[in-house]
């Protein structure tokens, strides 16, 4: 059986790249719902319905575990999938999100004041403050939605000077002089992590999800041998997208770098 990795667009490929680095032996299926990107401005119910379709698709492609490599989906669909969809349909399989691993990593840093930037849906869900409060109620949390960053990243405008101006505008809404850390609560933001760091005080540590999620998932498999033993280890990768253009092919290469060699993209309707 395989590991499924799902994102509303292509940002989850940044997580996927790190999974391939830390856990290269396993078989993976990546699904990017780029026909509907971004999820960030959608209603919670619509995000759930889109995510459920994606998870259902991956389970029917023989995935044992599906990772929602999308903060918006994790924030708005994960709990419902785990409590209702899985018990009723795939009780022996698992759906994992990326919010709790990220929060755990932030708490391990002993931050006193932390900033969070993400899509509107992620910020509005209040998922990060809620999870931080469970583990470290003393941490002060400051959030800012950055709704224009994902479309720019998906357009490949990583070197555009306007991107830097937009980052500055968003970060100014946070009390930067007070922060110890900043969570990049969107998988896309890993690609612009350097630009974000340049606009922060040097003492502010950035928590980017790629390394964190990969390390935490590796630990998860070690703690759950009953799941790990079911996974195939042939280093096979399959890529599905819901929209296919030359621009998306170029973006996938940008996200995956050398991991995309000889890969085949397949178009699906979910």
Write out the catalytic residue numbers.
70, 186
Beta bridge partners of 241: 32, 267
Q: Which residues 6+ apart lie within 8 Å of 30 measured at CB? A: 4, 5, 6, 12, 13, 16, 237, 238, 239, 240
Q: Partners of 63 in the beta sheet?
A: 2
Q: In this structure, what token pair is assigned to residue 108?
A: 């391990």
Instruction: List beta partners, residue 94.
Output: 65
- 3-class SS of residue 192: helix
Q: How far apart are the first and last CA of the chain?
A: 21
| Cβ proximity of 97 and 78 under 8 Å | yes
The Cα 47–Cα 52 span in angstroms is 8
**Residue 84, Cβ neighbours under 10 Å: how many?**
11
Cα radius of gyration rounded to whole Å, the chain: 18
**163 in Cβ contact with 152 (< 8 Å):** yes
Whether the ω angle into residue 38 lies within 30 degrees of 0, i.e. cis, is yes
Q: Token pair of 92, please?
A: 């022996």
Answer yes or no: are the C-beta atoms of 85 and 200 closer than 8 Å: no
The rounded distance, in Å, linking the Cα atoms of 12 and 153 is 12
């Amino acid at each position: 059986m395989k590991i499924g990795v799902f994102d509303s667009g292509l940002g989850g490929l940044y997580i996927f790249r790190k999974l391939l680095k830390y856990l290269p032996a396993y078989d993976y299926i990546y699904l990017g719902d780029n026909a509907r990107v971004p999820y960030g401005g959608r209603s919670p119910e619509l995000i759930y319905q889109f995510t459920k379709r994606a998870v259902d698709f991956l389970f029917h492609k023989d995935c044992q575990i599906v990772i929602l490599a999308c903060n918006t989906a994790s924030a708005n669909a994960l709990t419902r999938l785990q409590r209702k969809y899985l018990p009723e349909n795939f009780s022996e399989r698992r759906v994992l999100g990326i919010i709790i691993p990220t929060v755990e990593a932030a708490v391990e840093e002993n931050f006193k004041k932390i900033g969070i930037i993400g899509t509107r849906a992620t910020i509005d869900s209040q998922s990060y403050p809620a999870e931080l409060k469970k583990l470290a109620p003393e941490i002060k949390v400051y959030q800012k939605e950055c709704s224009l960053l994902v479309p720019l990243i998906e357009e490949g405008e990583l070197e555009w000077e306007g991107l830097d101006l937009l980052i500055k505008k968003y970060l100014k809404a946070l009390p930067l002089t007070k922060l110890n850390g900043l969570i990049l609560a969107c998988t896309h933001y890993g690609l612009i992590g350097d630009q974000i760091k340049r606009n922060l005080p040097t003492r502010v540590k950035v928590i980017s999800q790629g390394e964190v999620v990969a390390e935490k998932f590796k630990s998860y498999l070690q703690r759950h041998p009953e799941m790990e033993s079911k996974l195939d280890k042939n280093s096979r990768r399959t890529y599905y997208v819901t929209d296919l253009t030359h621009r998306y092919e170029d973006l996938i290469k940008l996200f995956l770098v050398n991991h995309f060699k000889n890969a085949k993209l397949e178009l699906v309707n979910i």
